[in-house]
Amino acid sequence: MMIYKTVLKGRYYTAIDQNQVDYQPDSLVCIDDGGTIARVVLADEDDYTTIIHTAEQTGTLVSLADDQVILPGFIDLHVHAPQWPNAGLALDRPLYEWLEEYTFPLEAKFKDAKYAHLVYDNLVETLLANGTTTALYFGSVDNTGNLELVKSCLSHHQRGFVGKVVMDNPEQTPDYYRDESADVALNETENFIHEVEKLNTDQSIPVTPVITPRFLPSCTDEVLSGLGKLANKYNLPIQSHCSESDWENGYALETHGKRDAAVLDEFGLLTDKSVMAHGTLLNDEDIKRFKDRGVGVAHCPISNVYFGNAVFPAKKLLSEEVKVGLGTDISGGYDPSVYQNIRQAIMSSRMLDEGVDSEISPDLRGKHQAAITAKNAFYMATIGGAKSLNLTTGQIKQGYAADLQIVHEKYPTFGHQGPEDTFEKIMYQTTVSEIDHVMTQGVFAK
C-alpha cells in the first residue's frame, strides 16, 4: 500500500468543462511527496477503507467537517502588484487621470526594496487567504521591487508569474516613471529573467518570469519588437492589456492605423503563452486572432465596470473556445477575492444579456444569449486560468498539482439542499472568513 504525504477525506466540487461541475460526496484526495494528486479514490472503490486506515496510522489523514468542501485553488490572471495600497481608491476618475495622478506615482515608490517587501508580503498573503493559489502579476518598472515580489511568492508558497513592466514611450509616460530607453528596458527585462532563475534554485514552486509590455500606448515599436524576440528566445509567457478601453483602442487606431491586437501580433506578442487583460472591446477579427494564436484573456469584471467602457462578452468567447480566465485587476479592481469577481462576472453578463437602457424596447435592449452561470464562472476561475497559463492545475484530478482550498458553508440550510444548490451558494456567499485552508503543491499555505 502506497504511503501518501496527505490524504484529504471529504466532498469536493471541480469543473469538468465550461458547463459541468463534478461533485463527489465522499472521496479521498491522495497527495504524493511532490505535491501532485496521485489518486482520487471514491467510497465504492476496493481500497478506500484501507487507504483511510493507513493514513490514520501514519498521521496523514485530514478529515473534513460535514459543512466543509474541497475546491481547486483559484487562478488570478491579472494583478497589478504595486497598486495594492490603492485598492478601492479613485475609481470614479477617468482612466488617464487615475493612471497619472494615482497609479504611476504609487508604482514609482517600488524602487525601495523595504517598501516593496512590506507591500508584497501582505499582498501575497492576502491573495492566498482568499483562495488564490496562482497569480499572474504585473510588477513595476524597477527590478528592485520586482525581485521582492518574486521572493514573497516563494516564501509564501504561491504559484507566481511575475513581469517587469515595460513602458518607454516618453509621450505617454511620466518622466519620473519610465524606462530610459528601449535598450535599457530590454536589458532590464533580460536581467530580471536571469535574477528570477537564481532565486528559483531548489524551489518546489519556481516563479515564472513574464514578458510584460504595459500596453500599446506606453511602449515604442522598438521595445515591442525586442520584447517579442525575448519571449521567443526564453520561451516565456507574455502579458499585456488589449482592447481595454475606448482610449486605448483609439490610440492604436490613430497611431498605427490598426487595432492593438493586430499591432501586438505583428511584434510576436500574441502566442499560446500570452494572456491579454480586459478585452471588453474585442471585435470578431480580434477574437479569431486570439483563438488562432492560442491567446488567453484575463476577464476582470469588477475593474471593467470602472474602466472597460463595455461589458466583456464572456459567453461569446467561451463559445468560440477562446481561453478565458478571471482577474481581480488590483487596483482597478477593488477586491482581492476571485469569488467577488465570479459574482460580478455573472452580474455583468446578465446586464449585457438584458440591457441597461430602459428607454430602449426590451427586444432591442440587450445582447441576448450573453448571460453566464455560476458554473461558467467557476470554470474560468479554475480551468480557464490554468489553460491560459498552460498549467496542470485547476482541477481535482489525478496527475494535477494539489492546489486546493477547503471552505465551509456560510449559512445553515434549515432543510434539504442538493449538491447543486450548495455549489451555487458557495460561489455566491464565500468570503475570506469561510476559507479554512489553502494548499499549493501539496503544502498548506493557510
In angstroms, the CA 230 to CA 316 distance is: 32
**239 and 250 share a domain?**
yes
Domain shared by 264 and 127, yes or no? yes
417 closest CA partner among 429, 432, 434? 429
Residues 6+ apart with CB under 8 A from 185: 166, 167, 168, 179, 223, 226
| The pLDDT value given to residue 416 | 78
Residue 325 lies in a domain: yes
| Residue 400, domain extent | 6-72+395-444
Residue pair 274/239 in contact by the 8 Å Cβ criterion = yes
Would you list the DSSP string of 11-66?
Answer: EEEEE-SSS-EEEEEEEEEEE-TTSBEEEEEETTSTTHHHHHHHHHHHT-EEEPPT
Are 210 and 270 found together in one domain? Answer: yes
Residues near 20 by Cβ (< 8 Å), separated by ≥ 6?
375
Co-location of 143 and 235 in the same domain: yes
**Distance (Å, rounded) from C-alpha 288 to C-alpha 272?**
13
**227 Cβ neighbours under 8 A, 6+ residues apart:** 166, 186, 189, 211, 213, 219, 238, 267, 269
- Statement to judge: residues 224 and 261 lie in one domain: yes
Q: Can you tell me which residue has the cell 497611431?
A: 255
d(CA 231, CA 391): 18
Q: Is residue 90 part of a domain?
A: yes
Residue 115 located in a structural domain:
yes
Whether 323 and 438 map to the same domain: the answer is no
Q: 326 lies in a domain?
A: yes
Cα distances (angstroms) measured from residue 406 to each of 13, 54, 158, 278, 311? 11, 22, 16, 29, 32
Same domain, 235 and 196: yes
Beta-strand relationship, 208-213 and 274-278: unpaired
Split into its structural domains, the chain has a count of 2
CB 26 within 8 A of CB 50: no
Reference 329, options 316, 314, 340, 317; nearest CA is: 340
Q: How far apart are CA 140 and CA 104, in angstroms?
A: 9
Which residue in this structure is represented by grid cell 516563494? 154
User: For the CA atoms of the chain, what is the radius of gyration?
Assistant: 22
The verdict on residue 1 lying in a domain is no
The Cα 75–Cα 384 span in angstroms is 9
Give dist(CA 350, CA 373) in Å, integer: 9
Q: What local confidence, expressed as pLDDT, does residue 420 receive?
A: 95
366 and 433 within one domain: no
The alpha helices in 130-269, defined as continuous H runs, are 143-156, 182-199, 221-234, 246-256, 260-266
Q: Scanning the structure block, which residue is given the C-alpha cell 452580474?
A: 347
Question: Which helix (H) or strand (E) covers residue 68, if one does?
Answer: strand 68-72
Taking the C-alpha atoms of residue 36 and residue 108, their distance in angstroms, rounded to an integer, is: 39
Does 264 lie in the same domain as 189?
yes
Per run of 10 residues, the mean pLDDT along the chain (length 446 residues) is 92 97 97 97 95 96 97 98 96 89 96 98 98 98 98 98 97 95 98 98 96 96 98 98 89 92 97 98 97 98 94 96 98 96 98 93 91 98 98 98 97 86 97 98 94
Is 31 domain-assigned? yes
Q: 36 in a domain, yes or no? A: yes
Question: Residues 111, 65: one domain?
Answer: no
Establish how many alpha carbons lie within 13 A of residue 142's alpha carbon, considering only the half-sphere containing its beta carbon.
Answer: 18
| 195 within some domain | yes
Can you give the CATH number for the domain in which 151 is found? 3.20.20.140
Residues 207 and 296 in one domain: yes
Q: Cβ neighbours of residue 49 under 8 Å, at least 6 residues apart?
A: none
Residue 95 has a pLDDT of: 83
In a shared domain, residues 58 and 133:
no
Dihedral sign computed on CA atoms, order 320, 321, 326, 330: negative
The CATH number covering residue 440 comes to 2.30.40.10
Q: CA-CA distance, 232 to 297, in Å (whole number)? A: 20
Distance of alpha carbon 251 from alpha carbon 446, whole angstroms: 44
- Report the pLDDT value the prediction gives residue 96, as an integer from 0 to 100: 82
d(CA 63, CA 56): 10
DSSP designation for 333: S
What's this model's pTM, rounded to 2 decimal places? 0.97
